[in-house]
Amino acid sequence: MNAAAKVLDPCSASRMMWFDKQDQRALFGDIRDEEHVLCDGRVLKVEPNVIMDFRSLPFEDGAFKLVVFDPPHLKYAGKDSWLRAKYGVLTNDWRDDISKGFAECFRVLASDGVLIFKWAEDQIKVSELLALTDEKPLFGHKSGKREKTHWITFMKRSTMTEAQLPLIPRWAVLPHPPRHAGFLQPDREVPGYTLEQMLEYGRVCAIEAVKQSK
Ligand SMILES: C[S@@+](CC[C@H](N)C(=O)[O-])C[C@H]1O[C@@H](n2cnc3c(N)ncnc32)[C@H](O)[C@@H]1O
């Protein structure tokens, strides 16, 4: 595990979906650390780098560039079933859990960071899940023979404060307004300016100021 990991998988189970299960760019979490022997004799290991609870993640705000959120999708699964061993099960408070999970995943994502949400629509409709976050997805894809597995992409909205935005210079040479005299005497009533013209001039000035700040 790389201490400076940029990718977080907070409920990674046995990392089935990972091409490289030891990818050093990622931090693998789960609420359990267990080993199971499946009915075909294969061993299933859930060995997170860090035991964590997606409802309360032990990371600072904005710590990751990419988070993949693949929580349990089953309300019911046999006590000793392979489904339970592989995917875990939801609690009775699953709406609250997942809603906290979404909030936490977005909190630990950097501004403009990407969240991939995976959901298998077996027992609960994906629309019920999307209702548990205020963030709006960008696009998605369905996979599997019956197209029940949804891969949904979000991008965290920019959370930069004005102080963090690249500073626009205090002094910039701005283009002349459409009618110079009016701007030199702002209190004077100047006939002929529309709100649109004023807004357009403001926009042109802002673009010019940003250009000069680079
Ligand atoms: C659907 S499986 C993830 C499968 C995984 N993506 C893979 O490729 O194998 C969901 C996992 O979430 C874990 N989990 C359940 N509740 C959790 C919680 N509150 N915090 C962290 N992990 C949790 C379960 O133990 C289970 O291993």
DSSP structure string for 29-62 = EES--EEEE-TTS-EEEE--SEE-BTTB-SS-TT
Q: Which atom of ligand 1 is nearest to the CA of 101?
A: 19
With a 6 Å cutoff on the Cβ, whether 68 touches ligand 1 is: no
Q: pLDDT per residue over 70-80, tens digit each?
A: 999 999 999 98
- When mean pLDDT is compared over 7-11, 36-40, 41-45, 82-86, the highest value belongs to 7-11
Q: Where are the domains of the chain?
A: 7-155, 166-214
- Judge whether residue 19 has pLDDT over 90: yes
- Judge whether residue 181 has pLDDT over 60: no
Tell me the fold of 7-155. Rossmann fold (3.40.50)
| 134's tokens | 């205020």
Q: Which of 8, 9, 11, 89 to mutate to test the pocket of ligand 1 (most atoms within 8 A of CB)?
A: 11
Query: Which residue would you say has higher pLDDT here, 26 or 193?
Result: 26
pLDDT, position 31 = 98
Q: Which atom of ligand 1 is nearest to the CA of 13?
A: 27
Protein residue closest via CA to atom 20 of ligand 1: 53
